[in-house]
């Protein structure tokens, strides 16, 4: 399942990420447990909660991140 398929308040673990350096610099990595804080309508970004931080991920990248619920 991809990150973009999840809904608000879902929790998941990342199992695969694309080779995008920005993700690593934001602290998004394989094996990380995250929560979907919000999902913007009409193809907007997904807001992730990583501990106490919130990070926005665009739809194109979110569709490439594989997760396990």
Query: Domains of the chain, with CATH numbers?
Result: 3-68 (2.30.30.90)
pLDDT of the residue at 6: 93
pLDDT tens column, 14-56: 999 999 888 988 889 999 999 999 998 888 899 999 989 999 9
- Model pTM? 0.88
Distance from C-alpha of 54 to C-alpha of 57, rounded to nearest angstrom: 10
pLDDT of the residue at 4: 93
pLDDT of the residue at 67: 96
With the C-alpha atoms ordered 63, 18, 49, 69, is the resulting torsion angle positive or negative?
positive
Tokens of 36: 């979907």
Q: Taking CA 47 as the corner, what is the angle to CA 28 and CA 27, rounded to the nearest 5 degrees?
A: 15
pLDDT of the residue at 41: 86
């Amino acid at each position: 399942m991809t990150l973009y398929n999840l809904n608000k308040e879902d929790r998941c673990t990342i199992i695969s990420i694309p080779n995008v350096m920005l993700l690593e610099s934001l602290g998004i990595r394989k094996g990380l447990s995250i929560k979907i804080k919000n999902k913007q309508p009409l193809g907007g970004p997904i807001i992730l909660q990583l501990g106490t931080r919130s990070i926005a991920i665009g739809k194109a990248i979110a569709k490439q991140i594989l997760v396990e619920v």
